């Protein structure tokens, strides 16, 4: 039986596992964290529990007898690409895109200016971010970017702590949101209302917030032509509705401001905390390729604020020895086959955001993973897979090697113990779970030894 190592236990890793298991392969799913589910656990906003219920599908995949999970195994530190090539017929990189894009403007790294992804990981209890601090007492916050992540963080900043109480928001974040003094969020888009990358339900949700009025200056919609794309057309309709709404006197405000590019994150001295954002006002121009671009008008405004969250997309982190497309921030691949200048790299494949970039919804990864797996099966039929060392490969040998290499490795049974523990902790407060946010706690819980 051929065996694949899938690196990354998020949606794309699970969809690839499912397709390979159905094709008769054995699958070892590795993750750097002791817990599975990637961005479903650490990215999807906690007030969106329905989206998280997709994990039931992944748990079914994990129940297959030829599936194993090895949590706490980091590619690059715990194990290397060469280790895996020596043991598996195929490696599937499903590692996502973990680096935030940079604005490249002065003041970007001042205290109080953060990648939105850090904030997301923090409120979702990702163990690497549990000790991050966010200044939530500054009155006004500015969120840069017009995608769904920007919407998520803007919404989280103005949600009533009572709305968050029944969710699996990390305890440290619940406490911080409970004391927070952010009462205004300004969401900045560099292009116009018709170019925003929001999806309709997410944008609509902003108009239903219990304690925040949503604000759009009607002037911003005056010259907006009807977009052909259905999602974008509905976005404009929703924004027109917001623009007509009177203020209802809610305690919080969430404003969407378009045609605004941050030019500088302001603060005291060279590295003092954020006090504001200097913003350039844009106009739209249509490039010869039809793309609508933002062009500076030369006009500027300054927005005072105490917190800046930058939500302008991500890029992948290179893996030692794996060809990387630096311009796109992805592993170099052709439809999911990893390729170098010499052609396809036998036995190496890629799925999800590290294959195609950070786009689409969770379900997008299913077709994406199936496409890659169809290439793996073609290569299997053509005898083009990786050539593991017969003495190192095989179920038991791999398990023994991994346990020796990573003594704290967490198996699927270990994850089920964590899951049961976290879920039980949530019961008294009617929460889906109380997340453990320390690696040591997670490993202990995986062994049934909660302290
Ligand atoms: P995204 O949808 O690609 O949005 C990125 C935003 O950043 C765009 O508005 C882009 O503007 C802007 N941007 C890029 N560079 C910029 C710059 N230098 N200055 C100012 N703005 C800049 O990315 P995302 O929000 O990170 O989301 C990633 C994916 O996850 C998306 O497919 C999203 O739909 C999905 N997601 C879904 C949900 C959900 O379904 N609830 C939640 C979260 C995320 P331009 O358009 O002008 O480039």
Taking each helix axis from N to C end, the angle separating 412-426 and 439-446, rounded to the nearest 10 degrees, works out to: 110
Q: Would the CB of 100 count as within 6 Å of ligand 1? A: no
User: What is the percentage of the chain residues whose pLDDT exceeds 70?
Assistant: 100
Residue 221 in this model has a pLDDT that exceeds 90:
yes
User: What is the percentage of the chain residues whose pLDDT exceeds 90?
Assistant: 96
Strand order in the sheet with 67-71: 67-71, 26-31, 3-7, 90-93, 343-350, 337-340, 333-334
Q: Would the CB of 116 count as within 6 Å of ligand 1? A: no
- The reported pLDDT for the residue numbered 78 is 86
Residue 55 in this model has a pLDDT that exceeds 90:
yes
Q: What are 247-303's pLDDT values in tens digits?
A: 999 999 999 999 999 999 999 998 999 999 999 999 999 999 989 999 999 999 999
- The reported pLDDT for the residue numbered 359 is 94
pLDDT average, residue stretch 180-190: 95
Q: Would the CB of 39 count as within 6 Å of ligand 1? A: no
- The reported pLDDT for the residue numbered 290 is 87
Q: Which CATH number fits domain 3-98+316-409: 3.40.50.720, 3.40.1390.10, 3.30.10.20, 3.50.50.60?
A: 3.40.50.720
Question: What does pLDDT average to over the chain?
Answer: 96
- The reported pLDDT for the residue numbered 150 is 98
pLDDT average, residue stretch 150-163: 96
CATH superfamily of this structure's domain 102-313: FAD/NAD(P)-binding domain (3.50.50.60)
Q: Which of 50, 102, 148 best tests ligand 1's pocket when mutated (most atoms within 8 Å of CB)?
A: 148
Q: Would the CB of 312 count as within 6 Å of ligand 1? A: yes
Decide: 289 and 124 in contact? Cβ < 8 Å: no
Q: Which of 312, 316, 353 best tests ligand 1's pocket when mutated (most atoms within 8 Å of CB)?
A: 312
pLDDT average, residue stretch 216-242: 96
Per-domain residue ranges of the chain: 3-98+316-409, 102-313
Q: 10 CA to middle of ligand 1, Å? A: 19
Same CATH fold, 102-313 and 3-98+316-409? no
Annotate 31-44 with b (16+ C-beta within 10 A) or e (fewer). bbbbbbbbbbbbbb
CA-CA distance, 134 to 123, in Å (whole number)? Answer: 10
Q: Please tell me the total number of residues recorded for the chain in this structure.
A: 451
Q: 362 CA to middle of ligand 1, Å? A: 15
pTM: 0.96
Residues 6+ apart with CB under 8 A from 57: 14
Residues 6+ apart with CB under 8 A from 404: none
Residue 450 in this model has a pLDDT that exceeds 70:
no
Please identify, by atom number, the ligand 1 atom nearest to the C-alpha of residue 191. Answer: 47
Q: 196 CA to middle of ligand 1, Å? A: 8
Q: 126 CA to middle of ligand 1, Å? A: 21
Q: What are 87-136's pLDDT values in tens digits?
A: 999 999 999 999 999 999 999 999 999 999 999 999 999 999 999 999 99
Q: Give the confidence band of 451 by pLDDT, cuts at 50, 70, 90.
A: low
Handedness of CA 365, 366, 369, 375 (dihedral sign): negative
Q: 313 CA to middle of ligand 1, Å? A: 5
Q: CA triplet 6, 10, 13: central angle to 5 degrees?
A: 30
Q: Would the CB of 213 count as within 6 Å of ligand 1? A: no
pLDDT average, residue stretch 308-323: 97
Residues 6+ apart with CB under 8 A from 396: none
């Amino acid at each position: 039986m051929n065996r694949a190592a899938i690196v990354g236990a998020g949606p794309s890793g699970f969809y690839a596992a499912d397709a390979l298991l159905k094709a008769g392969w054995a699958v070892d799913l590795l993750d750097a964290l002791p817990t599975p589910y990637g961005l479903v656990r650490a990215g999807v906003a906690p007030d969106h529990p329905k989206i998280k219920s997709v994990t039931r599908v992944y748990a079914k995949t994990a129940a297959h007898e030829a599936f194993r999970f090895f949590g706490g195994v980091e590619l690059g530190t715990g194990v290397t690409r060469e280790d895996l090539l020596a043991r598996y017929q195929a490696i599937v990189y499903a590692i996502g895109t973990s680096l935030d894009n940079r604005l490249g403007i002065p003041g970007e790294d001042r205290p109080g200016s953060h990648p939105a992804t850090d904030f997301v990981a923090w409120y979702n209890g990702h163990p690497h971010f549990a000790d991050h601090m966010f200044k939530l007492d500054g009155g006004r916050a500015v969120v840069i970017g017009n995608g769904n992540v920007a919407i998520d963080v803007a919404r989280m900043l103005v949600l009533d702590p009572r709305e968050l109480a029944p969710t699996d928001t990390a305890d440290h974040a619940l406490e911080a949101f409970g004391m927070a003094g952010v009462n205004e969020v300004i969401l900045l888009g560099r292009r116009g209302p018709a170019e925003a990358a929001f999806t309709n339900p997410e944008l609509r949700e902003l108009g239903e917030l219990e304690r925040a009025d949503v604000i759009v200056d009607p002037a911003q919609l005056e010259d907006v032509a009807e977009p052909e794309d259905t999602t974008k057309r509905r976005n404009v309709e929703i924004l027109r509705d917001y623009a007509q709404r009177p203020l209802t006197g809610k305690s919080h405000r969430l404003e969407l401001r378009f045609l605004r590019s941050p030019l500088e994150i302001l603060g005291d001295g060279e590295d003092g905390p954020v006090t504001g954002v200097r913003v350039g006002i844009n106009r739209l121009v249509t490039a010869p390729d039809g793309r609508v671009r933002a062009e500076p008008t030369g006009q500027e405004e300054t927005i005072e604020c105490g917190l800046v969250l930058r939500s302008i997309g991500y890029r992948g982190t290179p893996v030692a020895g794996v060809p990387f497309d630096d311009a796109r921030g992805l592993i170099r691949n052709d439809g999911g086959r990893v390729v170098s200048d010499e052609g396809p790299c036998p036995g190496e494949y890629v799925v999800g955001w590290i294959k195609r970039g950070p786009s689409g919804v969770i379900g997008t990864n299913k077709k994406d993973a199936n496409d890659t797996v169809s290439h793996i099966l073609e290569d299997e039929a053509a005898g083009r897979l990786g050539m593991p060392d017969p003495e190192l490969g095989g179920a038991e040998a791999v398990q023994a090697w991994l346990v020796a290499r990573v003594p704290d490795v967490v198996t699927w049974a270990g994850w089920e113990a964590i899951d049961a523990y976290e879920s039980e902790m949530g019961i008294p407060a009617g929460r889906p779970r109380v997340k453990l946010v320390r690696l040591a706690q997670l490993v202990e819980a995986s062994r049934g030894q909660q302290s």
